[in-house]
A and B are shown apart, each in its own frame.
Chain A
């Protein structure tokens, strides 16, 4: 049984301008010890999905439908008190730009200590030992535990934040744009470190990024998001070598690479849609080169194309 199984998840939030359909009928699963990549552009809903799985939603948000099965237990109907037992202890998250959200007036060690003591009862001395162990795990010198955030470099801060997410021994970590603010060489090192940790602790990982290259290198399976919907889901090799959804294909063709042939870049007209009034039918149809009449009227269903390869399109490529 998969460690995490999300089915038909739908979440919207109400704003003064209208209802934003941030996540619409999303399905995916994650096995223990594997890495899932969620890729898409700004506003596609990838961060919203993460916040929904952890049920860290603002007051004006609501889960309309769907199930989030963690180890068999559906998290959707759980109350806030019940949910707290799962957060951090079983599923934890490295938020986007978390490294910039460290409190400058406390030492980093103290902040991790606070996170630990908030979620489990542990004596301070024991907790500090745990933090030292975590530091070694993420590649930091345990001595720097008692330094302040401004004394850390960008890479060090990111490692510290990852240590914080690991502190209560979760079985799943969600990493939202973990390396976006970092330089290329530091990014490479951190991604390798995260991968090593995943193997060592046999954890499930969900990577969220707009950077297809990063997702290609760290994920076993990839879910491509567009305008709140998952349009394709398959293993990494398939997504890159034989994508069937026109958006996935366009995304691959539009992404430059330093290696390989210098291909002609394909332009994708238009912009990602407004989620308050998404286009009728398939949300991608205004920009899709393969759109036909049915695409304008009916929203395609997420179906299995071949084994473990899912897609939502009326005119998918073969």
Chain B
């Protein structure tokens, strides 16, 4: 009775479907003008960061190009910090280290920080939000109260106190930010999204088919929340990079080199006061610009995903 059916391996079919979805989503993403701009910025800086080892090779693996310990006090006649020259395209900082190399190294670190913090953070908030929405009641209350506490958390004060007790490295900062973002405000947003999914008839249909709690959460609710999660992950990266910049600038982190540290170093040595701001632009402008552009990039991508994530925003 069944017609002749040419069976194809399932993975091939799924791959084809995934490609088709990607193409459709890309169409919408490209249509928003901000999205591709943001993507361009991200890819540009990603490559910028990745190219660092090649840059070092280009410089002959000379130790003075090490972004952290490449001190070269005596090398340049005018002393440090030194404005851009051929051998140091963005000049040197107060300790004689090559700024361009520092930028590349720091950008790579910023990416890692952002993606780890935002990635794990959004993973947590998606799971927590979906579970809270699905079970409701006591579990929901617990997580929502927790989110309230986290949101009211004085981040700076907490980190000040913590920095006295332990040494906060970039990695530790990433974890702290992941936990705060994971249990904080984003959870509330993702939980409301999960709630809108939970009340749809197809969830009832899944229950009638025999699905248990975790099957429904993992297979039905979370996939419908993920687009929004991805969106908030973009904003999370922005938060992470920006937080690191501010915290480093204020000196609370135990980090040897990052975008924020570059500005901190410059400020700490008094090169950001008055007219020096103009003369020593190469100490603060490059890292400041990268922080802004990188954050903007992720934010634009987030905005570009608006239509993809929310079908109601799509044009007729």
Contact = CB atoms under 8 A, between A and B. Distances in A.
> Do A and B touch each other in the complex, judged by CB within 8 A?
yes
B316 interface: yes
Contacts of A16: 315-316
Nearest to B31: A16
A318 interface: no
Nearest to B314: A16
Interface residues of A, number: 4
A60 B316 CA distance: 9
A82 interface: no
A79 interface: no
Interface in A1-50: 13, 15-16
A60 B315 CA distance: 11
B289 to A, nearest CB: 37
Nearest to B316: A15
Contacts, number: 6
A13 B316 CA distance: 10
Interface string B195-216: 0000000000000000000000
A179 B164 CA distance: 71
User: Size class of B's contact patch?
Assistant: under 10
B206 to A, nearest CB: 27
Interface in B51-87: none
Nearest to A15: B316
A15 B316 CA distance: 5
Contacts of B316: 13, 15-16, 60
Interface string B295-316: 0000000000000000000011
A153 to B, nearest CB: 24
Nearest to A13: B316
A13 B315 CA distance: 13
A16 B316 CA distance: 6
Nearest to A20: B316
Contacts of A15: 315-316
A16 B315 CA distance: 7
B284 to A, nearest CB: 46
Interface string A287-305: 0000000000000000000
A276 to B, nearest CB: 11
Nearest to A17: B316
Q: In the complex, which of the residues A13, A15, A16, A60 has the most CB atoms of chain B within 10 Å of its own CB atom? A: A16
A177 B55 CA distance: 71
Contacts of B315: 15-16
Contacts of A60: 316
A43 to B, nearest CB: 14
Contacts of A13: 316
A15 B315 CA distance: 8
Nearest to A16: B315
Interface string A175-196: 0000000000000000000000
Nearest to A58: B316
A15 B314 CA distance: 11
A130 to B, nearest CB: 38
Nearest to B27: A16
A51 to B, nearest CB: 14
A16 B307 CA distance: 14
A282 B120 CA distance: 58
A278 to B, nearest CB: 18
A15 to B, nearest CB: 5
Nearest to B315: A16
B30 to A, nearest CB: 13
Interface in A143-168: none
Interface in B267-316: 315-316
A16 B314 CA distance: 10
A1 B316 CA distance: 39
B299 to A, nearest CB: 26
A88 B315 CA distance: 30
Nearest to A14: B316
A152 to B, nearest CB: 25
A61 to B, nearest CB: 10
B98 to A, nearest CB: 50
A236 B315 CA distance: 40
A278 B316 CA distance: 18
Interface string A48-63: 0000000000001000
6 contacts: A13-B316, A15-B315, A15-B316, A16-B315, A16-B316, A60-B316
| Top 5 closest pairs, chain A to chain B, by CB | A15-B316, A16-B315, A60-B316, A16-B316, A15-B315
